[in-house]
Structure 1
Amino acid sequence: MKLSFTKMQGCANDYIYLDCRESGVPENIVPLARDLSRRHFSVGADGIICICAPVTPGADGRMRIFNADGSEAQMCGNGVRCVAEWLYTHGVAKPRLAIDTGAGCKTVTRMGAQLWQVEMGEYTTMAAALPAVNMGEGPLVDCPLEVEGKRWQVTCIGVGNPHCVTVVPEVDSLKLEEIGPAFENHPNFPERINTEFVEVVDATHLKMRVWERGSGETWACGTGTCATVAALTELGFCPAGEDVHVALRGGELIIRVLPGRKLLMTGAAVTVYEGVAEGSI
């Protein structure tokens, strides 16, 4: 089997992009995501994003995200910027695009070469939206969470997919491969959870690392960065209405909390290469 694809990255959050607008999502997408995402043994990526025909009238496209383990995610902030960049360079050269996601239709605006701004919508801190159990109904702000015998203070944010944010003194020395899976599979989060560990540099500058459900540690996470700034705003560390710069392992994203708990994200979307994958799946 031969499969044409585009490799793209946003702050090193890299996915394999498939043009499925006419063909539809491949029936074997789950094993395909697992196979092609293997680093060193295949193309290597955080997963596959399928660019599909839109379902919302007037929209320009639709994205479906399949993590490296084959599970499907509702939304990917870095991914939606890359989908916008792909559409822009493949015949939909509009400065403002509407892209359907599992978390609703997102408006993405071109700010410059390979630079896009996404209207991410409203965030929530309520348990039912994540979902989260055994933590009360919410708001889940500065809540205690015991993970493998250690107590953490967490803030849980829903931005179309679920996130658990915790402030730490510094992020570089964290052994995420040891603590990340315990957060991801914590029984309080029946659909698993994405977890962000954040260091406060100052009111408008943060450092963050992320453990994504289904993918492990990734070098960036757009929805996770939005969730982090939302959480730090709720906690009083970051000001609403101002740009907050978040340094990730793969680059920087700029997040602003707007009135009504709405989020605006700005970041790069870069095409790495186009290729053809061959395999037996």
Structure 2
Amino acid sequence: MAPKNQARDNREARERLRLYQARQGLHERQRRRRRRDDVVGVGVLVLVAALATGSQLAFAGAQAPRDTDASASATSTPTPSASATAGNMGEVPSKDIADGKRWTGTLTLNEDVRLGIELDGAAAPQAASVEIDLIRKQFYRDTTCHRLADSKGFRFLQCGSANGDGTGDAGFEYGPLENVPSDGEYPAGTLAIARGASPYSQSTQFFIVYGDTTLDGSTGGYTVVGKVTSGLDDLESRITSKGIRSAGSDGTGEPEVATTITGATIRKAD
């Protein structure tokens, strides 16, 4: 039988070993946890970056036409992100709102540029219904026109994103494309809906064609929802003729004259 002091020493040694092993186990668990958290963190960052990129691409896609000479195509707003499958997303206003009729109204920019507008509820019932609903709800008020194209044969002003920078929407995306020009020609005065890669990625963004424009129709083209009936001269003299603040790779960019939608009205004409 071991002496008492030796037995005590053995017990203390075993306890020290137990505590050491416990600390080592704790350190190992903490190391694995940190590693796991690092991996999860990187994964989250990658996912966030991917989602952010996707959102930006969707809105670049939903951003109206690009210069066909540069072999670029247009996409809308966009949203929300562009739908990967054919089908509406979110609560899309009923296409019955337009009632197959012609609608007239106004779109006011910067308080002093007043455009007369006309929406075609027969040729583009779904798009016209969406625009009527958004105007009635004052969705566009205080939103900006964030994108201008001012090169020859490629002239439009794009408006209607919820965030004012080509992103954001009203919580829905819709299709199909309607009343698309078969020849890719969008004459001055055309009001058309911007979109992303999918024909069902139309949302709140639209573009005003202020000079005859040719757009690549290989991806389906753009819904012509109506036209500007008056005020294009004021639009050009006060806003679009002032140029682009900083043009991107496609030749479009933010208008030099900051442009805000300060009012919009609509009513049935027929």
TM-score by length of 2: 0.23
Larger helix proportion of the pair? 2
Larger strand proportion of the pair? 1
TM-score by length of 1: 0.22
